[in-house]
Amino acid sequence: MLKVNNISVIHNKRHLLQDVSFHANAGELLVVLGSNGAGKSSLLKCISKEWTPQQGDVSWNNISLSKWTDKSLAKVRAVLTQNYQISLPFGVEEIVMMGRYPHFKNSPSELDRHTVQQCLRYTGIEHLQGRNYLTLSGGEQQRVQIARILAQLWDGDANNKLMLLDEPVSALDIQYQHSVMQLAKKLTLRGFTVVAVLHDLNLALQYADKVLMLKQGKQIAFGDLSVLNEHHIREVYEVDTEIIQHPDSRRKLVVVKM
């Protein structure tokens, strides 16, 4: 279980996060929502142990992140960041193999190579094998990055795996947006805990098990999909919306009122 207990992050006397508390269980997809600058990426940095909050605590499986070594955490927690910069002409398999770095010492084993192949297949990018990463489109690069973090978490107990996705679908067309969200959902069904920052409220309504809503570093709402309602959307985004139900699928949709 991921437990975030009353964390605050202060930078230059300004709260980037203030008294944020929530949890996510094994097998849950938690979507973090909020306006630009609300603190979503800052929160992911705290959950990934890149940042240590000045107040409060983050724990993974009942152990405070401060007690996890970087090496052991790297085997159970993987992060897809917004700006993964690579300037050298690595091949696609080499990038995915980077996800295996915490698992081997000097050179990859047969198992590591097999895992890379499995992750390329699982993410539907086998056809990109042999390509120079720098020549891929933004969307293709994003899917390779997803294969990389999957390779990092591939083996071991799925209930002990935490995947953090910062705007995973931002560069993707509608088909791949859904294929990435379906992949995230499939991983939660295996037992993974997935935390994803999204801007698309309809994707959140379709895929989230739980929702956390932030505004200016403060927690506006946390809970099941019922918290993603017109009232909280108005509070967070200052936009009037209506939540309607699709007549056939019964799926809920957010529509902006003009």
Ligand X SMILES: Nc1ncnc2c1ncn2[C@@H]1O[C@H](COP(=O)(O)OP(=O)(O)OP(=O)(O)O)[C@@H](O)[C@H]1O
Give whichever of 50 and 173 is closer to ligand X, judged by the CB atom: 50
* Bridge partners, residue 211, by sequence: 31, 223
Q: What amino acid is encoded at 251 in this protein?
A: R
CA distance 251 to 248: 8
Tokens of 91: 């091949």
Are residues 221 and 212 in contact, defined by beta-carbon separation less than 8 angstroms? yes
CA distances from 203 to 15, 169, 194 (A): 29, 10, 14
Q: How far is the CB of 44 from ligand X (least distance, A)?
A: 8
Residues 5-24 interacting with ligand X (rule: CB under 6 A)? 11, 16
Give whichever of 1 and 227 is closer to ligand X, judged by the CB atom: 227
Residues in the chain: 258
Q: How far is the CB of 195 from ligand X (least distance, A)?
A: 13
* # chain residues binding ligand X, by CB under 6 A: 10
Interface mask (CB under 6 A) for ligand X, residues 109-128, using x and -? --------------------
Q: How far is the CB of 113 from ligand X (least distance, A)?
A: 35
Tokens of 62: 């009942």
Give whichever of 38 and 73 is closer to ligand X, judged by the CB atom: 38
Q: How far is the CB of 40 from ligand X (least distance, A)?
A: 4
Residues 163-202 interacting with ligand X (rule: CB under 6 A)? none
CA distances from 70 to 52, 76, 77 (A): 13, 10, 10
Give whichever of 41 and 145 is closer to ligand X, judged by the CB atom: 41
CA distance 57 to 92: 37
**Residue 93 φ/ψ, nearest 5 degrees:** -65, -35
Q: How far is the CB of 51 from ligand X (least distance, A)?
A: 8
Interface mask (CB under 6 A) for ligand X, residues 27-56, using x and -? -------x-xxxxxxx--------------
Euclidean distance between the first and final Cα of the chain, in Å? 41
Q: How far is the CB of 3 from ligand X (least distance, A)?
A: 20
Residues found near ligand X in the complex (CB under 6 A): 11, 16, 34, 36-42
